[in-house]
Structure 1
Amino acid sequence: MKALAVIATLMAGPAAAQGFADAQGGVIRWLDKLTGETGDLELQRGQSATNGRLTIQLDACRYPEDNPAAEAEAHLTILDSDRSAPVFTGWMLASSPALSAMEHPRYDVWVLRCVVPGYTPPEVDPDADIPATEEGTGE
C-alpha cells in the first residue's frame, strides 16, 4: 500500500508542476450517431446549451498556462431529457476523449479546447491533402 502511494505521488509530479489556468469558456463538439448531425458549442463557464435530447453544461475549463494549445480539461454536466439523472458529470480531456467518455447509445460529446483570451487556434483546412506515406496511399 505504501509503495502504491509513492508511485502515485511520482506519477503526479510532472502534472502537478505544470501550472493550469482557468478559462472563461470552452468549445465542445457533439455528434448525434443516429442522424450523423454534428456541431460545436462555445460555452461560457456555467452556461448550457441543448441539442436534441442533450443539455450540455460547461462547469469549468482549464489549460496549461505555458501552452494553451496543448491540452484542455473541461468539467461537464450532461443531461438527457429522457433520463432523470445526468448521463455524464466529470472531467473530459481534449487529447484523450476516451479516457473519460460519456457512455450514451445515441450521442458522443468531447472537448475541443478552452477559450483563451489572445489565443487563436490554428486554422484547419478540411480540403487539405493528406500527406502520402511511403506506399503513396495517404493512409
Structure 2
Amino acid sequence: MRRAVLAALLLAAPCLASAPAAAQEWEPKRTAELQMLDKVTARVSVLQATVGQPAQYNTLTIAVRACNARPVGEVPDAAAWMEITDSRKPDEPAFRGWMFANAPGVSMLEHPVYDVRVLDCK
C-alpha cells in the first residue's frame, strides 16, 4: 500500500515544492531498457521490452504497460509499470507495479533466481 501511494505521488500528483511545473513532467516512451540478473549464474544482461508486448527472459514473462522518462534538460530518471510472471508459478504474478530507475529499492521484484531493474525508457 505504501509503495503504491509513493508511486502515485511521484508520477501523478503535483509537487508541493516550489519547483516549476515543467520540472514535474514525465514523457511517455515506447521501450523499457531493463537490466536482468540471474542470481544463480551471476550473469547480467540488458533486455529491451516494448510497451504492450510481452518480453521473455528465461522463465520470466515481462509485460511493460507504461514507460516514462524525464524530459531532456531535467535530472534523468525513468519509471516503468510492469507485470512480471514466472512460468513456474503462472497463477500468481511475481511482480506488479512501478519500478523506478533512480530508486530501485522503492519497488522491486522479490524472486529467488532473478533480479530486474529499470535502466531507462526510450
TM-score by length of 1: 0.68
1:46 matched to 2:52: yes
Which residue of structure 2 aligns with residue 37 of structure 1?
43
Aligned identity (percent) is 36
Q: CA RMSD in A?
A: 2.4
Number of equivalenced pairs? 107
Q: Which has the higher contact order (CA 8 A, sep 6+)?
A: 2
1:21 matched to 2:21: no
User: CA–CA distance in 1 between the matches of 2:75 and 2:60?
Assistant: 27
Asked if the contact 1:31–1:39 (Cα under 8 Å) also holds between the matched residues in 2, the reply is yes
1:75 corresponds, among 63, 73, 81, to 81
User: CA–CA distance in 1 between the matches of 2:99 and 2:83?
Assistant: 10
Instruction: Letter of the 1:27 partner, please give it.
Output: E
**Alpha-carbon distance change, 68 to 60 in structure 1, aligned in 2, over 3 angstroms:** farther
**Alpha-carbon distance change, 36 to 24 in structure 1, aligned in 2, over 3 angstroms:** same
2:65 corresponds, among 55, 59, 66, to 59
Query: Which of 1 and 2 has greater Rg?
Result: 1
User: CA–CA distance in 1 between the matches of 2:114 and 2:83?
Assistant: 14
Instruction: Letter of the 1:42 partner, please give it.
Output: Q
- Deviation of 1:109 after TM superposition, in Å, equals 0.2
**Alpha-carbon distance change, 69 to 50 in structure 1, aligned in 2, over 3 angstroms:** farther
Asked if the contact 1:48–1:56 (Cα under 8 Å) also holds between the matched residues in 2, the reply is yes
User: CA–CA distance in 1 between the matches of 2:20 and 2:52?
Assistant: 25
TM-score by length of 2: 0.77
